[in-house]
């Protein structure tokens, strides 16, 4: 329903007021009348927003129409005034138009003439209202955006985590005080500068540039650890993700930085402690096992069968302890960052093939079919050779361990997106759904009737996971109880293979 329309008629002649009222109210418009200029102005001042069109007689005793027009214009420039002029007084009509009247109608006029003029003015009025509404909307939106912007800026500036936003050209467009503090550069040298000019950590710049260049829609976010400062006095964890527009085009990147120095420090102390303890533990156990070995080999005289049985069991136990210590040592090495230091370009095929060759005998002993068909793709990755051997030794020996005689272990290697993808599948006892989420946890071992006889420390898979993550990769597992297990490892492909 359209808003009610009000028309004010200011005329000193009763006949004119009544006549106009009659004609205009027939069309459903509300009509208010005033018999002189002052009265008219009072009405307008009383409700300036409710008057849509004013019909104003120019020739009135007291305050003249022209004067009234001036006053109206001073109240509100948008008020639409139609002046009623006496016959043959075109000059005054022109003058009124110059003063800002919207239209004029000469006396005498027919009802239709009046209707046409008023209707035209009302159309103008409704456009005016529409425009006013849009203007207010726009103002409100702009205000909202400004508020939102200021709110976001405040949030970002108050955050303990560092934030860096780059546009598609690699120019930093937004950063916060935390970011400049963590990266040890001034905020002014960040914003408005290209990544290459900011003297940022080179690993971080590389990651951001890769994320800006990413065309692949599966490329989501990359998480990395950075050592800041020459002596590596602080450590950051950086999460970088591309920003895409509605068409999926990369239009920039966002990096969030967390200071993990204190965590690193704790970790380092813990790892050093573990390393110290394991060395102290290892030496005496190794000596005990050595002594047991000598006795068992009858190098210290004859022993009875019963003694031999007991001593063999004792030796098994010391062996188990030594394996546990070795795993602990591996772990503390990874966490101290000493394990994955020698990255070089290599192919997983050669690594896996070597491990498969080493494991052949173990598989044959258990009558397990160990297969690694030649892959059609052989992606190059940037990795630590021994760590990679460690991963696949662990996964493949697990697969053999947990697969009953006559089963099969299949290793496959392919490429997917920017990653080399290796899977190790077995037809073994599988893993219960409840156990799945925890198998990468430290010291977690699945306890079932079938696994009781299998020697393990519960550290292997968590070591594997740490190594994979230290290479910016990921590992996942799929399994069904009794239906075999598949481990899938993703490792990022080498982006700039050496041209040879």
Partner 1 sequence: MAKKILIVDDDPDLVEAVTMILESKNYDVAAAYGGLEGLQKANTENPDLIVLDVMMPDKDGYAVCKELKADPKLSRIPVLLLTAVVSKIATTRYTQQMGMETEADDYIDKPVEPEVLVKRIEALLSK
Work out which of 379, 390, 407, 492 binds partner 1, going by CB under 8 A: 390
Q: Is 224 in the site for partner 1 (CB under 8 A)?
A: no
Q: Which residues contact residue 124 at a Cβ distance below 8 angstroms, ignoring those fewer than 6 apart? A: 80, 102
**Angle at alpha carbon of residue 430, lines to 425 and 435, rounded to 5°:** 120
Q: Does 299 bind partner 1 (CB under 8 A)?
A: yes
Do 331 and 278 contact (CB within 8 A), yes or no? no
Q: How far is CA 28 from CA 5, 234, 441, in A?
A: 8, 78, 80
> Do 375 and 413 touch, CB atoms closer than 8 A?
yes
**Between residues 429 and 463, which has the closer beta carbon with respect to partner 1?**
463
Q: Does 387 bind partner 1 (CB under 8 A)?
A: yes
**E strand or H helix at 308:** helix 305-335
Q: Does 467 bind partner 1 (CB under 8 A)?
A: yes
- Smallest distance from partner 1 to CB 480, Å: 28
Q: Which span (51-59, 264-272, 277-285, 482-490) binds partner 1, by CB under 8 A?
A: 277-285
Listed ranges 110-118, 386-394, 415-423, 470-478: which one lies at the site for partner 1 (CB under 8 A): 386-394
- Spatial contact of 55 and 8, defined as CB atoms under 8 Å apart: yes
CB of 478 to partner 1, least distance (A): 24
How many chain residues touch partner 1 (CB under 8 A)? 30
Which residues are CB-contacts of 179 (< 8 A; sequence separation ≥ 6)?
Answer: 162, 163, 164, 187, 190, 257
Q: How far is the CB of 293 from partner 1 (least distance, A)?
A: 6
Q: Is the peptide bond before 108 cis (omega within 30 degrees of 0)?
A: yes
Minimum distance from residue 423 beta carbon to partner 1 (Å):
20
User: Of 199, 224, 386, 451, which one interacts with partner 1 (CB under 8 A)?
Assistant: 386
Q: Does 343 bind partner 1 (CB under 8 A)?
A: no
Helix (H, G, I), strand (E, B) or coil at 439: coil
What is the CA angle 332-282-390, rounded to 5?
Answer: 45
The phi and psi torsions of 469 (rounded to 5 degrees) equal -70, -35
**Where do the H-state alpha helices sit in 366-453?**
385-401
Stretch that binds partner 1, among 215-223, 290-298, 406-414, 436-444 (CB under 8 A): 290-298
CB of 225 to partner 1, least distance (A): 19
Q: Which helix (H) or strand (E) holds 334?
A: helix 305-335
Q: What is the dihedral of CA 316, 321, 325, 330, to 10 degrees?
A: 40
Could you say which of 116, 191, 322, 477 contacts partner 1 (CB under 8 A)? 322
Looking at 291, 451, 474, 476, which residue binds partner 1 (CB under 8 A)? 291
Nearer to partner 1, 120 or 282 (CB): 282
Query: What is the DSSP-derived secondary structure letter of residue 435?
Result: T
The b/e string for 187-202 (b: 16+ C-beta within 10 A; e otherwise) is: eebbbebebeebebbe
Residue 393 binding partner 1, by CB under 8 A: yes
Q: How far is the CB of 161 from partner 1 (least distance, A)?
A: 33
- Kindly tell me the sign of the dihedral angle through the C-alpha atoms of 66, 68, 74, 76: negative
Closer by beta carbon to partner 1, 145 or else 300: 300
Interaction between residue 473 and partner 1 (CB under 8 A): no
Among 194, 266, 276, 287, contact with partner 1 (rule: CB under 8 A):
287
Q: How far is the CB of 320 from partner 1 (least distance, A)?
A: 12
Stretch that binds partner 1, among 120-128, 172-180, 287-295, 428-436 (CB under 8 A): 287-295
Query: Which one of 55-63, 143-151, 196-204, 288-296 is the stretch in contact with partner 1 (CB under 8 A)?
Result: 288-296
Which of 31-39, 158-166, 183-191, 327-335 is the region at the interface with partner 1 (rule: CB under 8 A)?
Answer: 327-335
Q: Does 120 bind partner 1 (CB under 8 A)?
A: no
CA distances to 440, 471, 489 from 465, in Å: 7, 10, 9
Q: Which of 188, 300, 454, 495 binds partner 1 (CB under 8 A)?
A: 300
Report which DSSP code applies to 454.
Answer: S
Q: How far is the CB of 381 from partner 1 (least distance, A)?
A: 16
- Give strand ranges (E) for 417-484: 419-426, 474-479
Q: Which of 326, 343, 366, 445 binds partner 1 (CB under 8 A)?
A: 326
Nearer to partner 1 by C-beta: 236 or 334?
A: 334
Encoded tokens for 20: 């106009």
Task: In angstroms, give the least distance from the CB of 219 to partner 1.
Answer: 29
Applying CB under 8 A, the residues found at the interface with partner 1 are 279, 282-283, 286-291, 293-294, 297, 299-300, 322-323, 326, 329-330, 333, 339, 342, 385-387, 389-390, 393-394, 467
């Amino acid at each position: 329903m359209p808003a009610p329309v009000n028309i004010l008629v200011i005329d000193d002649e009763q006949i004119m007021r009544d006549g106009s009222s009659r004609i205009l109210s027939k069309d459903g418009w509300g009509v208010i009348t005033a018999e002189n200029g002052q009265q008219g102005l009072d009405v307008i001042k009383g409700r300036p927003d409710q008057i849509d069109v004013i019909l104003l007689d120019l020739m009135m005793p007291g305050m003249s129409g022209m004067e009234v027009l001036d006053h109206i214009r001073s109240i509100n420039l948008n008020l639409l005034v139609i002046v009623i002029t006496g016959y043959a007084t075109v000059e005054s009509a022109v003058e009124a138009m110059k003063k800002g009247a919207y239209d004029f109608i000469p006396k005498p006029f027919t009802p239709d003439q009046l209707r046409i003029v008023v209707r035209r003015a009302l159309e103008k009025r409704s456009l005016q209202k529409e425009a006013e509404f849009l203007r207010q909307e726009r103002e409100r939106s702009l205000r909202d955006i400004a508020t939102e912007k200021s709110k976001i800026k405040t949030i970002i500036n108050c955050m303990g985590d560092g934030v860096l936003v780059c546009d598609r050209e690699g120019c930093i467009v937004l950063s916060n005080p935390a970011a400049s503090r963590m990266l040890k550069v001034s905020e002014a040298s960040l914003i408005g500068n290209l990544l290459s000019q900011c003297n940022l950590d080179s690993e971080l710049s590389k990651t951001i540039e890769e994320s800006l260049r990413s065309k692949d829609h599966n490329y989501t976010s990359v998480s990395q650890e950075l050592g800041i400062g020459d002596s590596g006095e602080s450590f950051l964890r950086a999460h970088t993700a591309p920003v895409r527009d509605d068409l999926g085009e990369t239009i920039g990147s966002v990096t969030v930085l967390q200071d993990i120095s204190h965590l690193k420090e704790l970790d380092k102390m813990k790892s050093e402690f573990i390393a110290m303890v394991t060395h102290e533990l290892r030496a005496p156990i190794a000596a005990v096992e050595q002594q047991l070995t000598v006795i068992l080999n009858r190098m210290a005289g004859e022993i009875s069968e019963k003694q031999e049985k007991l001593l063999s069991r004792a030796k098994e136990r010391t062996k188990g302890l030594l394996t546990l210590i070795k795993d602990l040592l591996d772990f503390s090495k990874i966490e101290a960052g000493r394990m994955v230091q020698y990255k070089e370009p290599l192919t997983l095929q050669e690594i896996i093939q070597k491990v498969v060759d080493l494991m052949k005998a173990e598989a044959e002993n258990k009558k397990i079919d160990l297969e690694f068909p030649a892959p059609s793709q052989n992606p190059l990755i940037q990795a630590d050779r021994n760590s990679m051997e460690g991963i696949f030794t662990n996964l493949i020996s697990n697969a053999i361990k947990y697969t009953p005689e006559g089963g099969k272990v299949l290793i496959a290697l392919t490429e997917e997106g920017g990653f080399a993808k290796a899977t190790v599948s077995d037809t073994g006892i599988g893993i219960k759904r409840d156990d799945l989420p925890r198998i990468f946890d430290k010291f977690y071992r699945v306890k079932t009737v079938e696994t009781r006889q299998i020697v393990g420390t519960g550290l292997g898979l968590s070591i594997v996971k740490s190594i994979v993550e230290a290479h910016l990769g990921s590992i996942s597992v799929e399994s069904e109880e009794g239906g075999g297990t598949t481990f899938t490892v993703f490792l990022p492909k080498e982006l700039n293979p050496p041209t040879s």
